[in-house]
Amino acid sequence: MRLDTFCKYLKMCELENIIPPLTVFVSQYSKEIGIQYASCPSSPHTFASESQLYITMHIFKKVSDLQAWVAQERAEGKRIGFAPTMGALHDGHMELIRMSGLAGHRTVASIFVNPTQFNDPKDLEKYPRTPEKDILLLHDNGCDAVFMPSVEEIYPPGLDVSIDLDFRQLDEVMEGFFRPGHFKGMATVVHRLLDIVRPDSLYMGQKDFQQLTIVRDMIRQMHLTVELVMCPTMREADGLAMSSRNLRLSADMRAIAPVIFQTLQWAAETLQTHMASAIQTEAMQRLEAAGLRPEYFDIVDGISLLPVERWEDSTFIVACTAAFAGEVRLIDNIVVKS
Ligand code: AMP
């Protein structure tokens, strides 16, 4: 039950003079930040002791607490699904949670805004943080545990968490070209989180296709045993890929932004009959003509991320793009052939 629904229920119980069952979503975190009491300030039903609470989602801030819970779940024969995020969650992220739940896993989500993958400190500062909303969303989508560590918990002084991998061209093209260093930071934190959680399955979105490709390469190079699951991109009704950045779009730019996915769809349909280089040039023109500022529009092999020229050149082809809509940088992609 949602926390706010539960609070309404408590209020109703109070009016009807019914004693409600002590089944409530609660967590260390929500108690600390006061969600529970802020949401139902007039309820006389305070919770006498933690042992009376039926906890439906755990929130951990410490590695050791999370690991103790994971060990207990494993001892009961459960398998663990893991979805790393940076918070400011929306329905796109929830697809990862739902897919893990559907696979029968106990689901762990992490919320950690990783400082090492931001090349601009202002971006890190501006990154939206909505922990209360995130917790409710995760709870309502069947997440079992949320890991919300501090920077010191992930990068403890004295512990070397760096990984020394050569991603070849994978982290140099497309996003890697425009955001140097970004993928090294991303791979380091994903590796650190995998080392902490030790999940059976790792859930990541197709939305960040290059990120997922690099994580797949890291898993291969390091012989990690985790299964990587690619979750489809969740979109708004007009095709715009869901992103926390969409909220920052002006009304004008929000109206234009669906052109990104329309152009990707056009490219996917056209590759069977035209050369990729010609499509890329026209796609950039289409995005510009719509009022966007595209950085790249690339048609690549889905594993090597090397350019593909013709439909026959690869069995797995993806078109990827990044474009500014006003000040907001949006990325999207489409699987052309798989
Ligand atoms: P982020 O919090 O932006 O680092 O994203 C965390 C995870 O959610 C990544 O694996 C993303 O690819 C995934 N994700 C973000 N947006 C979407 C979306 N619209 N549809 C599906 N997955 C998404």
Is pLDDT at 14 greater than 70 in this prediction?
no
Q: Is the CB of 240 under 6 A from ligand 1?
A: no
Averaged pLDDT for residues 126-137: 88
Tokens found for residue 116: 């090492």
Q: Where are the domains of the chain?
A: 3-52, 58-231, 244-337
pLDDT digits (tens, 9 = 90+) for 149-162: 999 999 999 999 99
Given CA atoms 69, 70, 73, 74 in this order, what sign does their dihedral have? negative
pLDDT digits (tens, 9 = 90+) for 100-112: 999 999 999 999 9
Mean pLDDT of the chain: 88
On the CB side of 315, CA atoms within 13 Å amount to 0
- Ligand 1 centroid distance, CA of 189 (Å): 15
Averaged pLDDT for residues 258-262: 98
- For residues 254 and 326, give the distance between their C-alpha atoms in angstroms, rounded to a whole number: 10
- What's the pLDDT at 50? 40
- For residues 184 and 215, give the distance between their C-alpha atoms in angstroms, rounded to a whole number: 10
- For residues 264 and 241, give the distance between their C-alpha atoms in angstroms, rounded to a whole number: 12
Mutate to test the pocket of ligand 1, among 208, 214, 246, 333 (most ligand atoms within 8 A of CB): 208
Closest CA relative to residue 192, chosen from 230, 153, 157: 153
- What's the pLDDT at 215? 98
- Ligand 1 centroid distance, CA of 113 (Å): 13
Class of the 244-337 domain? alpha beta
Confidence of residue 119 (pLDDT cuts 50, 70, 90): confident
- For residues 140 and 142, give the distance between their C-alpha atoms in angstroms, rounded to a whole number: 6
Nearest CA to ligand 1 atom 6: 85
- What's the pLDDT at 7? 58
Mutate to test the pocket of ligand 1, among 85, 235, 243 (most ligand atoms within 8 A of CB): 85
- Ligand 1 centroid distance, CA of 82 (Å): 13
Atom of ligand 1 nearest to the CA of 89: 2
The residues annotated with a catalytic role in the active site are 93
**Least-confidence region, from 10-19, 134-143, 200-209:** 10-19
Atom of ligand 1 nearest to the CA of 88: 2
Is pLDDT at 12 greater than 50 in this prediction?
yes
Confidence of residue 6 (pLDDT cuts 50, 70, 90): low
Averaged pLDDT for residues 245-251: 95
Tell me which of 48 and 337 has the higher pLDDT: 337
CA distances from 117 to 121, 171, 190, 211, 232 (A): 10, 13, 11, 12, 23
Answer whether 58-231 and 244-337 agree in fold. no
Nearest CA to ligand 1 atom 7: 85
Confidence of residue 4 (pLDDT cuts 50, 70, 90): low
Averaged pLDDT for residues 76-98: 98
Is pLDDT at 321 greater than 90 in this prediction?
yes
DSSP per residue, 50-115? GGG---SSEEE-SHHHHHHHHHHHHHTT--EEEEEE-S---HHHHHHHHHHHHTT-EEEEEE---G
Q: Does domain 58-231 have CATH number 3.40.50.620?
A: yes
Q: Is the CB of 190 under 6 A from ligand 1?
A: no
pLDDT digits (tens, 9 = 90+) for 25-64: 444 344 444 333 333 333 333 443 443 444 568 889 999 9
Nearest CA to ligand 1 atom 12: 205
Atom of ligand 1 nearest to the CA of 204: 10
Atom of ligand 1 nearest to the CA of 205: 12
Mutate to test the pocket of ligand 1, among 89, 90, 94, 96 (most ligand atoms within 8 A of CB): 96
Nearest CA to ligand 1 atom 13: 205
Is pLDDT at 248 greater than 60 in this prediction?
yes
- What's the pLDDT at 66? 94
